Chain A
């Protein structure tokens, strides 16, 4: 991949530019900067060791999960040209199927919780991933021929249908083929226990006891889980990088750039697109399993379309068609827009003295008219969750207007294994030198 002159490259000293061209260095540098920012913020807020570790744990947790989601979106959109905005639907299928498969069977479950099929977690995870992939197949099979935006509307509608189904009170608890199962309806359902927590409760208990004097045991389990997630992310990244360089991936890029030309080369483009879509949907199912599933409780309100667009944003920041860009995009998105406003609010609350109180906008506005700006400031600080999304929207518009290829995007990456354009470039360079005279 050739890296074009970016905004960072031009500001770095020459000795460092060569390192910056390495994508891994870019990821590491971005991550280091974000970590440093959070450590400094933690210091300013007076966090102790536990506080710092907790704040970094949450940061890393979200970065890893958004990265996995962004990698899938990038596989779909950046490499296969499939405009999937039904991401949450497939996540929901994965986690709901896994949950229903693992819930204990009737009679064995604690009273008041929903029964399931009582399968062990690893089998249930495979079941969830397969279910998500199959739903992806059903969604994609008839829609492949559609225009990008129609495909998008179909996937969005699919995701909403899945959410409506999970929410339906009729399916809250039902019996089919003599088995009683249920989705929990709008009230939600308790998921499966996290195997890492189980490990530390059982065999791993001595490890926790050994360090309990210095660190909170929950931090040990939390960070172990993060470590496991990070390993999963690295595996997925490696697979993705291999996949897009494989013959399969080259055909995908060909389809993205010119589907008719690719099919003229005797490639069954529909079949390639379906496979790419199913692989992605399976991974999204898995993402749901390790994300919402690991929180102990799921409900349909977790799977609203907003999350889909949040997962899309790292890809737009990083630039479609770049796996490493998607990871950097996730780090930037989670580190700044997603978690930033909350920390900023805490910082301002700590260091700016405030007296006034405003619980609603008209009051704050009234105070402002009276020359008191603390009211509107406080009100705004209390609305961080709204501000986060407004900021997200502003960023989206700005990126698409100014940098439609993303900060690190490289959509002109070659589909062929040799650079056929290099001769053209050489010639242009020669022309420029000789003034176009042969």
Chain B
């Protein structure tokens, strides 16, 4: 009987998709009006909104950079790589280990530095690393994180995924969960479940706005600089080089690309390299922004990265970055209306809504 009731509800929801779209648009308009109302009433200040926008942009950039690799491999190999978050985690640990080693070389034991002083052998305030006093260590760590991420991604592809090309997407998805388990708990084995504080006090700038200030930290400025460089680099790679053009061709139509003589295995390997390197950068940067690192840093980011990738359209590099920024902005701006506990949930809800209404992403599945 209860099933009959549900059936009748379902039949009346034939226009679910349309309903969701209308609902989302209405909600958006209402929220926008409400924001202005709150602004006029004085419940909300310009500074507060600017602060949300700034933070959202920063976190969105990290999500976007981390998502490029996920988006490309999702399209090229047709599976959702659930281990991508743990590429982020492990490369962040390795990058920061190297940064610590450089900053504290000679003062502390090499092993303790490389393992971020696990077990309380070295404390972050002793190493006192930050962008102002140890720029070389930070930049070197960033490069190492990118290199490690790239190598890890290629190694795992050769070791695990390459022999499974052509398996159905569910088999590959579950395999990637296995890979994720191994990577995450290798990090636990090496670094325990401890949360490490990383940086000492950093320089920051207070930008005065009506109703308060927005704090701009040196970490976020570095992030903006690095992501601009990366975006220009990736853009040039995709449009000017043979490799980039082949990648785009493969993402657009794999069969056609193969017919025209593009060496698909080679391109897939290079794609893993690129995606892994960007995941490494994202990992290093998110740890720098938060000032802490633990074994779950990438996994907690993963669903938001998925949200960004799906929003931007799977297989699209620009879409992944824009989608990531949108996810960052949406989750932070939602704080105007909902409590902070639910911040991540908004990102997930938006992702579900996109999947339901426009699975090709908001940019309609344009490639590259």
Interface residues of chain A, those whose CB is within 8 Å of chain B, are 83, 137, 141-143, 146-150, 152-154, 156-158, 160-161, 164-165, 167-170, 270-271, 274-275, 278, 306, 309, 312, 316, 359-363, 365-366, 380, 383, 386-387, 389-390, 392-397, 400-401, 404
Contacts and interface: CB of A to CB of B under 8 A. Distances in A.
A360 B115 contact: yes
Contacts of B190: 361
Contacts of B10: 141, 270-271, 274
Interface of B: 3, 6-7, 10, 13, 16, 20, 79-80, 109, 111-112, 114-115, 118-119, 121, 160, 163-164, 167, 169-171, 173-175, 177-182, 184-186, 188-192, 303, 306-307, 310, 339, 341-342, 344-345, 348-349, 351-352, 355-356, 359
A44 B130 CA distance: 54
Q: Is the interface of A mostly helix, strand, loop or mixed?
A: helix
Given A157-B352, A392-B181, A361 B115 contact: yes
Given A146-B355, A386-B186, A387-B185, 4 more contacts: A270-B10, A278-B6, A309-B181, A400-B167
Contacts of B13: 141
Nearest to A380: B189
B334 to A, nearest CB: 13
A128 B180 CA distance: 32
A42 to B, nearest CB: 28
Contacts of A158: 348, 352
A389 B115 contact: no
B163 A401 contact: yes
Given A271-B10, A383-B189, A150 B181 contact: no
Given A143-B356, A149-B79, A164-B344, A362 B114 contact: yes
A274 B2 CA distance: 12
B111 A363 contact: yes
A394 B119 CA distance: 27
A362 B112 contact: yes
Q: Is the interface of B mostly helix, strand, loop or mixed?
A: helix
Contacts of B119: 359-360, 363
A383 B188 CA distance: 8
Nearest to A152: B173
Contact of A393 (B115, B185, B356): B185
* A-B complex: 5 closest residue pairs judged by Cβ atoms: A396-B178, A362-B111, A393-B181, A360-B119, A168-B341
Given A143-B356, A148-B169, A390 B186 contact: yes
Contacts of A170: 339, 341
B210 to A, nearest CB: 29
Contact of A153 (B177, B310, B341): B310
A350 B175 CA distance: 36
A383 B187 CA distance: 12
A316 B10 CA distance: 32
A335 to B, nearest CB: 19
A365 B178 contact: no
Nearest to B188: A386
Contact of A141 (B16, B169, B173, B307): B16
8 contacts: A148-B169, A152-B80, A157-B351, A164-B345, A360-B115, A360-B192, A387-B189, A397-B160
A383 B119 CA distance: 14
A157 B348 CA distance: 6
Contacts of A393: 177-182, 185
A137 B2 CA distance: 12
A76 B355 CA distance: 21
A74 to B, nearest CB: 14
Nearest to A133: B2
Nearest to B109: A362
Nearest to A392: B181
A38 B188 CA distance: 28
Given A142-B20, A150-B359, A316-B174, A386 B179 contact: no
Nearest to A369: B111
A164 B341 contact: yes
Nearest to A379: B189
B342 A168 contact: yes
B179 A149 contact: no
Contacts of B306: 153
Contacts of A154: 352, 355-356
